[in-house]
Amino acid sequence: MKAVMKRELKSYFTTSLGYSIYAILTFLGGILYIFTFLIGRGTLANTVFLFMLGIILLITPILTMRLFSEERRQKTDQLLFTSSVKLSSIVLGKFFAAVIFFVTFFVLMIVYQVVLSFFAKTDWIIFFSSLLGMFLYTVALITIGMFISSLTESQIVSALVSFLISFFFIILWIAQSLVEDVLTVFFPTMGWLSTSIGWISFSARNQAFLQGIFNYSDVIYFISITGLFLFLTVRVLDKKRWA
C-alpha cells in the first residue's frame, strides 16, 4: 500500500495536472481569505466555505479520473492484477494519496486562518467544524471518483460521470425543498419522502458543520459513503482481475 501511495503522491507533485490543481486551490483559497479580511470578519463565512465546496466538487473528478482509467489505457492494470499486492491495498494506496493531496491544502487553510486571527477575532469552533465537514465531503467525493475511474478507461468519461454523481448528491438539498413544498400541498402524509431525500444530501449534511455543530450521524454518514465506494471499487477490480 505504501509503495502505491508514494507513487501516486509523486505523480501529483511532478505532473502539470497536480501542480495546476494545487495552484488553483491555493490561489482561490488566498483570494477568499483576503475577501474575508476586507469585510472585517475573523472567520471564513459560510458562503465562502460553500464556494470552496463547489470548487472541490469541480476539481475532485479531474484529480481522480486517472487513478484507474490511466492504468487501463496504458495496460498497466494487468501488472497490478498479477502482483502480490492485495487489490484492497492498491485501492487504499491510491485513496490515501488523493486524501493527502487535499490535506496539504487544508493545512494551508489553517495557516491562512492563523494569520487572519491576528487581525480579527476568530471563531475557531466554527472554523474547525467547517473544515472537518469539508474534509469528510472531499473524501467522499474522492471515493466516488475512484469508483467511476475503475469502470472505464476514458478519463473524460470518468471525470464527467463522477461530477454528475457527486452533483446529484449535492443538489438533493434543493430537491428536498421543492419536494417538501409539493408534498405539503398535495400529499401531506408523505413527509417522510422529503426527509429521506435530505438525509442522503451532501449539502444538507454539511450545514451543521458550517454552523459549528458536530453531529455524529453526519460523520458516520460520510464515513459510510466513503467505505461503500471503496468496497465497490475493490469489487469492480476483483471482477476484472478474473474476467
Q: Is the pLDDT of residue 132 over 90?
A: yes
Rounded Cα distance between 143 and 68, Å, is 12
Nearest in space to 141 (alpha carbons), one of 67, 241, 40, 32:
67
With 70 as the cut, is the pLDDT of residue 80 above it?
no
* pLDDT score, position 102: 92
Average pLDDT over residues 22-46: 73
pTM of the model as a whole: 0.86
DSSP state of 153: S
Q: What is the mean pLDDT of residues 89-111?
A: 91
**b/e string for 125-136 if b means 16 or more Cβ within 10 A?**
ebbebbbbbbbb
CA 109-130-134 angle, to 5 degrees, is: 75
- Tens digit of each residue's pLDDT (9 = 90 or more) over 3-23: 888 888 888 878 788 788 888
Give CA angle at 19 (231, 140), nearest 5°: 25
Q: How far apart are CA 11 and CA 5, in angstroms?
A: 10
Residue 243 — very low, low, confident or very high, per pLDDT cuts 50/70/90? Answer: low
